[in-house]
Amino acid sequence: MTQCLLWVCLLLQPQSTAPALPPEAITLLQSGIQAENLHDLDGAIDAFRKAADLAPSSDIVFFRLGDAYMKKGDYASAIPPLKHAAELNPTALPVHQLLGIALLATGYAAEAIPHLDMVHEYGALGIAQLQTGQPAEAVANLQTALSKRPDDPDLLFYLSRAGSSLASQSLDKLFSTSPDSPRGHQAKGQTYFAMKMYPEAAKEYQQALALRPDLPGLRLELGQVYAANSDWPTAEEQFHLEAKEQPGNAEAAYRLGEALLQQGKMKEAAEELRRSDILRPDMPETLYSLGKALTSSDPNAAEHAFARVIELEKETPLAAQAYLALAGVHRKLGKPQQAAHDMQEFRRIQALTSPPSPTAQ
C-alpha cells in the first residue's frame, strides 16, 4: 500500500511559499527532475542536494529531495528533507503525506499519525493507529479506506488484525473493570472454550446464567461447550432453552437439530433443521444436516437437501461431503449410476480441496 500511496503523492504539487530560486538552483532542480525521469535516482538526489545547498529556504527543493529518497526506498534519508519542507510550508499536504508514510515505514508510527491525519490518508493512518495501540480508531479508519479499495489485501489484513486487537483490548477492560459481571463470565467462558478447557468454560457460562438467565446467546454458547465435549444430551438441553427463548433464532434451531441428530433422534432433528432452514434459508450447513437427518426416513427429501448444498457450495469441502452423502442416498434409492457419478465428483472435489499428505506415496 505504501507504494500505492507514493504514486498518488507524486501526482501532487506542493503549494510553495518560498522566494524565487537562484538560477543555479533552478538548473540543478531541472537536471534532478531529468535524472529522475531517466530513473537515475542517485543522480537526481545529488542534483537536489546541491540545489538545497543553494536554496535552503525552498520547500520545493527539499520536497523533491525527500521524494527522490522515497522513490529509492530510502525512507530514513527522506525524513530530514521532508521535515524541513514541512517546516518551511506547514500547509503543503503532499509533504505531510510523504512524511507520514516515511515515518510509518521507519517505525515512527506515533509521529506519523498527525501527518497522515492531516491528509486523510485513512489506510496508513489506521495502520499507524494499530501500531500505537489505538485499535478502535484503526478499525474505523481502515474501514473508511476499504470503502474505496474493498479488495486491497493489505487493508484487509490490517483490518483483521485491528479487529482482533480491539476485541482483545475490550476483553482486557471487561476483565479488569467487571470480572464478575455476566458478560465477564461469558467472556471468560469464551476464552476457556477456545482453549478447549470445556469444564472451566461451562462453569463460567453457568455463573453468567445464574446472574442473568435472560441474556440472549448464553445458552447457545454453553450448549456449544457441551457439544464440543460430546455431551450431546446436555447440549440439547441448552439449545432447547435457547430456541425456546429465541424462536426466531435460526442458529439456535440449527444447533438443536445437530444435537438431536448426534443422538439419533432423526425425526426431531429434521423438524428443528427444517425450522432453521425456514428462518434462514439456504444455509448449506443446515441443509447438509437436514439431509443426514432424512437419509433413512425420506431419502428423496434427503437427496433434494444434499443437491441444494452442492448447488450452493459448488467445489468446497462441504460440497464434497454432500456428494458422498448423496452417493449413499442414491445407493439406497437403487440408483447405482448416480451413486457412481456422485463418488466421482466427491473424489474430484476432495482432490481439489485436500492438502497433500506429508507421507503420500
The C-alpha atoms of residue 232 and residue 238 are separated, in whole angstroms, by 10
Nearest residue (CB) to other proteins, 68 versus 339: 339
CA–CA dist 311, 316 (Å, integer):
11
State in angstroms the smallest separation of the CB of 269 from other proteins: 9
Closest separation in Å from C-beta 131 to other proteins: 29
- Taking the complex as a whole, the smallest distance from the CB of residue 168 to other proteins amounts, in Å, to 23
Report yes or no: 175 and 184 within 8 Å, Cβ to Cβ. yes
Q: Which CB sits closer to other proteins, 153 or 355?
A: 355
Q: Of 117, 164, 165, 161, which is closest to residue 141 (Cα–Cα)? A: 117
Which CB atom, from 75 or from 288, has the smaller least distance to other proteins? 288
Complex with other proteins: residue 154 or 200, whichever CB lies closer: 200
Whole-number Å distance between alpha carbons of 170 and 180 = 15
**Closest separation in Å from C-beta 186 to other proteins:** 19
Half-sphere exposure of 18 (CA within 13 A, CB side): 23
H or E element in which residue 46 lies: helix 41-54
Exposure class string for 26-51: b at 16+ Cβ within 10 A, else e: bebbebbeebbeeeebebbbbbbbbb
Half-sphere exposure at residue 171, Cβ-oriented, CA atoms within 13 angstroms: 13
Closer residue to other proteins in complex, CB, 119/261:
261
Could you list the residues that contact other proteins (CB under 8 A)? 196-200, 228-233, 261-264, 266, 292, 295-296, 317, 320-321, 324-325, 327-328, 331-332, 334, 340, 343, 346-347, 350, 357-359, 361
Q: Least distance from C-beta 205 to other proteins, angstroms?
A: 15
Nearer to other proteins, 176 or 361 (CB): 361
Rounded to whole angstroms, how far apart are CA atoms 112 and 124? Answer: 9
Smallest gap, in angstroms, from Cβ of residue 199 to other proteins? 7
